[in-house]
Amino acid sequence: MSFLGKSFLDTDSLHPEQISILFDKAKKLRSKPYLSPKGKTVALIFFEPSTRTRSSFEMAAVRLGCHVLNLDPTRSSVSKGETVLDTVLNIEAMGPDCMVIRHSSGGVPALLSRNLKVPVINAGDGMRGHPTQALLDAFTILEERKRIEGERVLFVGDISHSRVARSNFQLLSKLGATLGICSPSTLIPPHLAAKGFKIFSKLEEALEWATVCMALRMQTERQESFQVPSMKEFSARFGLTPEKLKYLSNEAIILHPGPVNQGIEISQTVMHDPRTKILSQVRNGVFVRAALLSEILGVEV
């Protein structure tokens, strides 16, 4: 049950009690000043671009009084042909206490963790998972809606290629939310209907049903071919606009893991709608990640 010294690779293995421990600690950290230096180092190794996750882990580590070692693989010896495993083994030999790893291929953080002695945190692996994003999303739902059990959480957009959706499906169903999806049929994994997801073809009906709406970016970098007739058509049917939001309750919230493609899955006006909590997600992410790091590293809060 304890996170101490262990890797954190997916949401599937999380027990609801562990989630409560993390969320309670995240709340505690939010009201605390930065902690004094702890003599611990967190290595951030991102083999794929990131704005939010990398900076959020860096802020989280700094808040806990940890040092941060930032490796930029595009400037590392990976670009000279060194393997990913050799790179992380060399970083491990320098003595960090934990490694936060992102990679464009699913399973790489798990594979590396089996070859490393230090704990590894999965910061997103291909289309497979983004467990800390799901944790901060669940924390934001709890903060904004005061519960997760019984919430009707709608995912809109590219479900097939979204690691955020996969991790959220695992975590939120474990916590008792009902899940719905609204997406072009080419972007819905066929097995989801069998798993009890509510599937909507009309966004208006989906928004009337939802208490939480999470918009997802069209992940063109992961699609083998373009899977909707045009971005304009996708946006007209599945984009969140002020007209579409008339169907969403005033008490509901809108989330997006970022990066946002304004004008495609979400309009600029909707970004400023009071129901939109995207920057709260980002803010919460620092404390949720700090809570996770403190548990894994054994940093007293």
Judged by the rule CB under 6 A, the positions of this chain that interact with ligand CP are 50-53, 124, 130, 133, 257-259
Task: Provide, rounded to whole angstroms, the least separation between the CB of residue 214 and ligand CP.
Answer: 12
Pick from 106, 94, 86: nearest CA to 9? 106
For residue 228, CA distances in Å to 155, 168, 185, 202, 220 come to 17, 24, 9, 16, 10
Closer residue to ligand CP, CB minimum distance, 108 or 209:
108
Here the tokens at position 271 are 């970004």
Here the tokens at position 85 are 């495993």
For residue 176, CA distances in Å to 153, 157, 206, 245 come to 11, 22, 19, 25
Task: Provide, rounded to whole angstroms, the least separation between the CB of residue 288 and ligand CP.
Answer: 13
Closer residue to ligand CP, CB minimum distance, 139 or 200:
139
Closer residue to ligand CP, CB minimum distance, 184 or 258:
258
Task: Provide, rounded to whole angstroms, the least separation between the CB of residue 194 and ligand CP.
Answer: 28
In one-letter notation, the amino acid at residue 258 is G
Closer residue to ligand CP, CB minimum distance, 282 or 299:
282
Task: Provide, rounded to whole angstroms, the least separation between the CB of residue 47 and ligand CP.
Answer: 12
Query: Rounded distance, CA 159 to CA 165, Å?
Result: 6
Closer residue to ligand CP, CB minimum distance, 124 or 200:
124
Task: Provide, rounded to whole angstroms, the least separation between the CB of residue 117 and ligand CP.
Answer: 26
Query: Rounded distance, CA 232 to CA 235, Å?
Result: 5
